[in-house]
Amino acid sequence: MDERMRRKLLRRDIGSYGWALLIYYLLMTLCVTAAMMIQSAVLLITGDVPEETALMGNGWGYLTACLLAVLLIRIWKGKAFFTGMWKSDRRMTQGAFWQLLCLTISVQLVFQLLAIVMETLLNLMGLSIIESMEMASGMPDTFSMFLYYSLGAPVVEEIIFRGAILRGLERYGKRFAIWTSAFLFGIFHGNLIQSPYAFLVGLILGYVAMEYNVFWAMVLHMVNNLVLGDILPRLTQGMGDVAAALLNQGVIWLSVIIALISLIRNRRQIREYRRSDLPSLECIGAFAISPGVILLTLLMAVNALTMLIL
């Protein structure tokens, strides 16, 4: 096989995950649209006028898309994928889990600081990121959306991003697989403020899935979504603004302190990990110019800008 053909096959293999995510995005869009249309029809038949907030709270389309995605991955990757996905190189300890959880929650501080900077800059252009922030951090107000955020999304997203994608790219290097799967995880959210946050969380979950297994990435993902997306908002609902802010920031800053102590104590191992298994420029280039990845990035960028402008 000549060098040109080898690079073409490399680009096709790496880029196939971009096409897979495009299919999943299309599938999710179709399922969500169908669920909203069914709900609208039922409300109209019963004589109720369908409200936009009620339709947006319909999570059954997302849950249906999750089930169909698992089925498609089963067909695409085969039975061996689901058995091999749980392989573990290290045993998760209680201390490691809590440190990783605090590190994951502490990324929320980056989200808040980034939101302040972006809102300030966008206000200069007459734009605002408030609506995008509310979509990214809003508490699920229906049972179906609660199921999706707390169970459906963490399980299926870990199967897709840390299972199929990360494990599929692992043969090109651990660090390459972690960074590229996190990049795809970030842009797939299609939200100007949520995508950088999801990228950083994706790095942590990618490390967990690579060094431990996908199960622990699922658990971290679920707990993070529950704490930040449901438990804290519900606890602070009846509080005053000051008390709610103190509780929210207290949880985040406590997580930041624990995470910093953990990073400082393990700085030598972290330094060695960063220096090992450097990704090749050839693989990075193949990923960057693959049509599936480029089209997915452009689609999600348009989606993020549309939410910002409209």
- The structure's pTM equals 0.92
Q: What is the pLDDT of residue 138?
A: 65
Ramachandran region, residue 276 (left: φ > 0; alpha: ψ -120 to 50; beta: rest) = beta
Determine the pLDDT at residue 244.
Answer: 82
Burial of 14 (0-12, 13-18, 19+ CB in 10 A): buried
Q: Which residue has the tokens 């229906």?
A: 142
Q: What is the secondary structure of 157-189 as a DSSP string?
A: HIIIIIIIIHHHHGGG-HHHHHHHHHHHHHHHT
**Contact predicate 181/91, CB 8 Å:** no
> How far is Cα 172 from Cα 119, in angstroms, rounded to an integer?
38
Please state the rounded mean pLDDT for residues 217-238. 86
Query: Is a pLDDT exceeding 70 seen at residue 3?
Result: no
Phi, psi of 189 (to 5 degrees): -70, -20
Structure tokens of 260?
A: 């910093």
Q: Structure tokens of 163?
A: 């299972």
State the Cα–Cα distance between residues 173 and 165, nearest whole angstrom: 13
The whole-number pLDDT of residue 22 equals 93
Query: Could you report the per-residue pLDDT of 15-54, keeping only the tens digit for each?
Result: 889 999 999 999 999 999 998 888 888 877 876 655 655 5
For residue 56, the number of C-alpha atoms closer than 13 Å in the C-beta half-sphere is 9
Q: What is the pLDDT of residues 191-205, one digit of tens each?
A: 888 999 999 999 999
Alpha-carbon gap, residue 232 to 237, rounded angstroms: 9
pLDDT in tens, 243-296: 888 888 999 999 999 999 999 999 998 888 888 878 888 889 889 988 999 999
SS3 125: coil
| Cα 110 from Cα 115, distance rounded (Å) | 8
Query: pLDDT (tens digit, 9 = 90+) per residue, 47-104?
Result: 665 565 556 677 889 999 999 999 988 888 887 787 777 777 788 999 999 999 999 9
Instruction: Tell me which residue of 108, 125, 114, 59 sits closest to 308, measured CA to CA.
Output: 125
* pLDDT single digits (tens) 175-193: 999 999 999 999 999 888 8
Q: Are 142 and 39 in contact (CB under 8 A)?
A: no
Sign (positive or negative) of CA dihedral 163, 166, 169, 173 = negative
- Give the pLDDT band (50/70/90) at residue 136: low
Domain boundaries defined on the chain: 3-309
